[in-house]
């Protein structure tokens, strides 16, 4: 195998496939990047068995072939080379010579025979999204997946298509995040659960440009993201997602309209007084025209008043401040509407069109102490 690639292109492609290299594996071959060179394509591949990535690097093929190189050593060498053409050549026993200008590196490689290449999955009827939109809906929902594996389904996100609408849902037992986007055309109905880890990694390699497109393909067991000469293949999480519709009643007793940035800054300040260990709630006292936020902890106390517009009843309610912060951070609107029923029922932050819905459960607090 012998190829010549510009350093920048090669490094860019390495950084893409690195997202599918496991940090540690009982199968050392999985810690490799495979360079698979055919007559006219240079493909880089990594696969941790849940998530696999293939990407095509632009370059010149001198001699086809393939080799598996330790991902860490290979990526660090390329990163530090001068900004010029890089030649990669395997010699006997997969020993690999990497040269660029006057620098010559020799590292040992291994056969790609043992490497689990990505299965060839037929792609039919994919949906098309802008990379911007895909990156955004991941960012706006992925924070509320559960991070422990005790409930596998909670570590993924529901991707549901109905006609020309894609709905993405994540939840962790304390809160629910929902985003909806319009698709460019109607598609057949579909419901799958995509691992959160996959979405996090995909999000890192998406360009985020509105003009760039990404294609999504779904099968019974897999999802494929295809964009910019890159293919990301991930297993789906098996099972049925939680029924959430009954939680999302549109009834409310109190509706608050408030400046998002002010509210976010205020809650953020209050968290200063919360140590990781003691989960102190922020207490919100909603009255006509203003809302008082209070935090009391062993470190000190904080209280702040904000101007609001209120419809309906007064209410006193407590929340884990982190959950409110997470939701407010990913809302772009200048003003948000918060809907409440009573101090035991979740609050819902949503826009009129329900393009986003963030539901957060309240926490109990001793109002006498507060």
Cα–Cα distance measured from residue 41 to residue 163, given in angstroms and rounded to the nearest whole number: 37
In terms of Cα–Cα distance, which of 323, 325, 335, 333 is closest to 360? 323
Task: Assess 229 for contact with a copy of itself (CB under 8 A).
Answer: no
- How many CB atoms within 10 Å of residue 301? 11
CA distances from 10 to 43, 77, 80, 160, 221 (A): 10, 11, 12, 36, 31
Structure token pair of residue 207: 């360009």
Piece of 58-66, 113-121, 265-273, 328-336 that binds a copy of itself (CB under 8 A): 265-273
Size, binding site for a copy of itself by CB under 8 A = 27
Contact (Cβ atoms closer than 8 angstroms) between residue 311 and residue 254: yes
CB of 95 to a copy of itself, least distance (A): 9
Cα–Cα distance measured from residue 68 to residue 75, given in angstroms and rounded to the nearest whole number: 12
Structure token pair of residue 321: 């401040």
Q: Which is nearer to a copy of itself, 24 or 102 (CB)?
A: 102
In terms of Cα–Cα distance, which of 69, 116, 111, 113 is closest to 88? 69
Cα–Cα distance measured from residue 8 to residue 12, given in angstroms and rounded to the nearest whole number: 6
Task: Assess 305 for contact with a copy of itself (CB under 8 A).
Answer: yes
CB of 329 to a copy of itself, least distance (A): 15
CB of 145 to a copy of itself, least distance (A): 27
CB of 284 to a copy of itself, least distance (A): 14
Residue 368: burial class (beta carbons within 10 Å; 0-12, 13-18, 19+): exposed
CB of 105 to a copy of itself, least distance (A): 5
* Footprint (CB under 8 A) of a copy of itself, residues 269-288: 269, 272-273
Task: Assess 253 for contact with a copy of itself (CB under 8 A).
Answer: no
Piece of 120-128, 151-159, 186-194, 304-312 that binds a copy of itself (CB under 8 A): 304-312
* Footprint (CB under 8 A) of a copy of itself, residues 73-132: 73, 76-77, 80-82, 102-108
In terms of Cα–Cα distance, which of 84, 14, 80 is closest to 42? 14
Cα–Cα distance measured from residue 112 to residue 131, given in angstroms and rounded to the nearest whole number: 32
Piece of 70-78, 178-186, 213-221, 314-322 that binds a copy of itself (CB under 8 A): 70-78
* Footprint (CB under 8 A) of a copy of itself, residues 32-61: none
Contact (Cβ atoms closer than 8 angstroms) between residue 143 and residue 152: no
Task: Assess 209 for contact with a copy of itself (CB under 8 A).
Answer: no
Q: Which is nearer to a copy of itself, 79 or 221 (CB)?
A: 79
Task: Assess 258 for contact with a copy of itself (CB under 8 A).
Answer: no
Cα–Cα distance measured from residue 302 to residue 296, given in angstroms and rounded to the nearest whole number: 7
Piece of 44-52, 193-201, 242-250, 262-270 that binds a copy of itself (CB under 8 A): 262-270
**In which element (H, E) is residue 79 found?**
helix 71-80
Piece of 168-176, 209-217, 268-276, 333-341 that binds a copy of itself (CB under 8 A): 268-276
DSSP 192-234: EEEEHHHHHHHHHHS---SS-EEEEEE-SSEEEEEETTEEEEE
Piece of 71-79, 214-222, 308-316, 338-346 that binds a copy of itself (CB under 8 A): 71-79
CA distances from 357 to 143, 215, 327 (A): 14, 25, 9
Task: Assess 304 for contact with a copy of itself (CB under 8 A).
Answer: yes
CB of 79 to a copy of itself, least distance (A): 9
Q: Which is nearer to a copy of itself, 78 or 138 (CB)?
A: 78
Report the residue from 111, 265, 337, 343 that binds a copy of itself according to the rule CB under 8 A.
265
Q: Which is nearer to a copy of itself, 146 or 273 (CB)?
A: 273
Q: Which is nearer to a copy of itself, 236 or 258 (CB)?
A: 258
Contact (Cβ atoms closer than 8 angstroms) between residue 195 and residue 52: no
Task: Assess 303 for contact with a copy of itself (CB under 8 A).
Answer: yes
Applying CB under 8 A, which residues contact a copy of itself?
73, 76-77, 80-82, 102-108, 265-266, 268-269, 272-273, 299-306
């Amino acid at each position: 195998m012998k190829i010549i690639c510009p350093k920048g292109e090669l490094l860019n492609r390495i950084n893409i496939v690195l997202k599918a290299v496991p940090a540690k594996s009982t199968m050392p071959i999985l810690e490799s990047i495979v360079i698979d060179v055919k007559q006219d394509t240079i493909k880089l591949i990594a696969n941790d068995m849940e998530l696999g990535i293939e990407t095509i690097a632009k370059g010149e093929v001198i001699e086809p072939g393939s080799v598996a190189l330790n991902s860490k050593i290979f990526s660090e060498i390329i990163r530090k080379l001068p900004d010029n053409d890089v030649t990669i050549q395997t010699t006997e026993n997969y020993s690999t010579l990497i040269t660029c200008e006057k620098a010559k590196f020799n590292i040992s490689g291994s056969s790609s025979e043992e490497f689990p290449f990505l299965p060839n999955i037929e792609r039919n009827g994919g949906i098309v999204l802008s990379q911007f939109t895909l990156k955004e809906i991941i960012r706006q929902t992925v924070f509320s997946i559960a991070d422990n594996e005790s409930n596998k389904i909670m570590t993924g996100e529901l991707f549901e298509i109905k006609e020309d609408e894609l709905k993405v849902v994540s939840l962790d037992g304390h809160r629910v995040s929902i985003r909806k986007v319009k698709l460019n055309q109607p598609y057949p109905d579909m419901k799958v659960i995509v691992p959160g880890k996959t979405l996090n990694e995909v999000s890192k390699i998406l360009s985020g440009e509105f003009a760039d497109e990404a294609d999504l393909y779904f099968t019974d067991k897999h999802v494929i993201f295809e964009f910019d000469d890159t293919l990301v293949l991930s297993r789906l999480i098996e099972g049925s997602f939680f029924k959430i519709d009954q939680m999302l009643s549109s009834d409310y007793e109190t509706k608050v309209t408030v400046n998002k940035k002010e509210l976010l800054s205020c809650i953020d300040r209050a968290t200063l007084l919360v140590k990781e260990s003691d989960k102190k709630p922020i207490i919100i006292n909603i009255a006509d025209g203003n809302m008082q936020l209070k935090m009391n902890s062993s470190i000190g106390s904080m209280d702040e008043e904000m101007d609001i517009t209120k419809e309906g009843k007064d209410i006193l309610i407590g929340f884990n401040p982190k959950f409110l912060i997470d939701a407010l951070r990913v809302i772009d609107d200048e003003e948000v509407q918060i809907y409440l029923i009573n101090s035991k029922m979740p609050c819902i932050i949503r826009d009129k069109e329900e393009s986003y819905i963030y539901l957060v459960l309240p926490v109990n607090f001793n109002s006498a102490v507060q």
